[in-house]
Amino acid sequence: MKYLIKDLVRLTGIPASRIRKWQERYRFLHPKTGENGYKYYDQEDLFKLKQIGHELAHKKTISTILKELRLDSDPLFLRQEPPWTLSEIRQPTQGESIPLRGEELRIIEMISSGNFTRLADILDGIYSLTPFPQFVQQTLSPLLVLVGRAWENRLLTVADEHAMSRFFTGYVYSKIQSQSLPTKPTWLVVTFPGEVHELGALLHYSLLLHSGISARYCGNLPENELMKELTNFSYKNISISIVIRQDQKKIELLRLKIAQHFPQIEIHWGGPGYLDATSSPTS
């Protein structure tokens, strides 16, 4: 997609005069002049300016931001071709905000433009060289974190995130479909009732299958449907994923209900929302 400078102003909120001044001094954008004499910027330029705008809101100087984004020393980093991996994806600690850069921005550009075929090719290259548990923990899981960070930084829209979720679900299933066991499931994997973020639970399910455990993944179930599901099979374990923090009292009520009706089932909790709820002295 091509953008005039007025489009960049509209999409980023950064004045045209400032963009021109930065470009004159730092030359980190790469506009191309059309036959009509106008300069056209591409998606990569837009991503750079969006990220810079986000960092400016944190009271950083433009020179500091460019160094953090590596635009001062490597202005063509987004145009570099593979080979590359997802090794640069960084997972911030709780409460930390770090800018996206280099490889991370390239991945986000693929998602925003809907180039999932290219993203699948990259993931397949890593998958072919990596044991499956390591692939999940060091590639797929950080990728989810990256998408969340990009959405928080307004580099991805809700529609982008939904498209990515559908791609990710299909991709993971394509890697585990041959591992499904014919026996009745003994381990149920769900999210906390009302929790809409299901992909972390899906990854947990994929690791259980890889370990030879007969598991069933149901994602987000209302509480009454969850209790019905626990009745239908002789489950011995249930994993419940929580991404968005829940009231600790709600978590305890669900635990007590499951324990009361199904005392034979061992309950496993996981996800950042659960850690947040249980680590806080009050809820």
Q: Please compute the mean of the pLDDT values over residues 219-234 and round it to a whole number.
A: 94
Q: Could you check whether the bond before residue 272 is cis, i.e. omega within 30 degrees of 0?
A: no
pLDDT category at 263 given cuts 50, 70, 90 is very high
- pLDDT score, position 181: 64
Percent of the chain with pLDDT over 90: 40
CATH topology identical between 1-75 and 180-279: no
Longest CA pairwise span in the chain (Å): 74
- pLDDT score, position 102: 66
**Per residue in 5-44, pLDDT tens?**
999 999 889 999 999 888 888 888 888 888 888 899 988 7
- pLDDT score, position 34: 86
Q: Between 276 and 283, name the one with better pLDDT.
A: 276
For the whole model, what pTM was predicted? 0.68
Gyration radius of the chain's alpha carbons: 22
- As a CATH number, domain 1-75 is 1.10.1660.10
pLDDT for residue 278 is more than 90 = no
- pLDDT score, position 222: 95
pLDDT category at 280 given cuts 50, 70, 90 is low
Q: Which of 36-50, 76-90, 126-140 has the lowest mean pLDDT?
A: 76-90
- pLDDT score, position 70: 62
**Per residue in 112-135, pLDDT tens?**
889 999 999 989 988 988 889 989
pLDDT for residue 100 is more than 70 = no
* Mean pLDDT taken over the chain: 83
Where is 269: in which H helix or E strand? strand 266-270
Q: Please compute the mean of the pLDDT values over residues 245-259 and round it to a whole number.
A: 93
Distance in angstroms (rounded) separating the CA atoms of residues 3 and 264: 60
- pLDDT score, position 43: 81
Domain boundaries of the chain, sorted by first residue: 1-75, 81-179, 180-279
Q: Decide if 216 contacts 188 (C-beta within 8 A).
A: yes
Q: Please compute the mean of the pLDDT values over residues 162-171 and round it to a whole number.
A: 95
Distance in angstroms (rounded) separating the CA atoms of residues 239 and 237: 7
- pLDDT score, position 283: 44
- pLDDT score, position 44: 79
- pLDDT score, position 228: 95
- As a CATH number, domain 180-279 is 3.40.50.280
Where is 119: in which H helix or E strand? helix 116-127
Highest mean pLDDT among 179-183, 242-246, 250-254 belongs to 250-254
Q: Which long-range contacts (CB under 8 A, 24 or more apart) does 162-169 make?
A: 163/111, 163/114, 163/116, 164/111, 164/116, 165/199, 167/116, 167/119, 167/120, 168/140, 168/143, 168/144, 168/199, 169/198, 169/199, 169/202
pLDDT for residue 147 is more than 80 = yes
| Burial bucket for residue 192 (CB in 10 Å: 0-12, 13-18, 19+) | buried
